Amino acid sequence: MLAFGFGSGLSPKAPGTMGTLAAIPLWLLLNQLPMTIYWLVILVAIIVGIYICGSAAKTLGVHDHSGIVWDEFVGLWIAMAFLPPTLGSVICGFVLFRFFDIVKPWPISWLDKNMHGGVGIMIDDIVAGSFAACLAFYINYLGYL
């Protein structure tokens, strides 16, 4: 259930995008936590994600099945870590994360191709979320959000 993002990964079209959308309400809850606890939750979500995504992939016999979207949840939460809970922030974080997750500029593309198992499923979204977080932080710092 977690690997498939509470069912959002079962979408017949754009399961990664649906998984990212499903992560937004949980981010709105996480955003209310102190920053230390927020990052602790993300760390736990990464560790749990490595296990559940790897286990789901092994069970399905597909390295990174498109329905496995827990990595999108975590990636979005990383992307949104430094943003206020506004509609503009949600749109910005969502678009930036999906951009980096889909386009996969270096080193994301290298990690996606060369890392395997649960770590391989999670790492490209962790880095995509980190890239998105840096850019979103700067956009927010400039006052555009």
Residue 4 lies in a domain: no
Q: Is the pTM of this model over 0.75?
A: yes
Per-residue pLDDT, 64: 87
Question: Over the chain, what is the mean pLDDT?
Answer: 97
Mean pLDDT of 116-142: 97
The 10s digit of each residue's pLDDT in 34-84 is 999 999 999 999 999 999 999 999 999 998 899 999 999 999 999 999 999
Residue 20 lies in a domain: yes
Mean pLDDT of 21-31: 98
Residue 2 lies in a domain: no
- pLDDT-derived band of residue 99, with 50, 70 and 90 as boundaries? very high
Per-residue pLDDT, 73: 98
Per-residue pLDDT, 61: 93
Residue 5 lies in a domain: no
Residue 7 lies in a domain: no
Does the pLDDT of residue 102 top 90, yes or no?
A: yes
Residue 41 lies in a domain: yes
Residue 97 in contact with residue 41, Cβ under 8 Å?
Answer: no
Does the pLDDT of residue 91 top 90, yes or no?
A: yes
Mean pLDDT of 133-139: 98
Residue 1 lies in a domain: no
Per-residue pLDDT, 63: 86
Residue 9 lies in a domain: no
Query: Which residues span the domain enclosing 38?
Result: 14-141
Number of domains composing the chain: 1
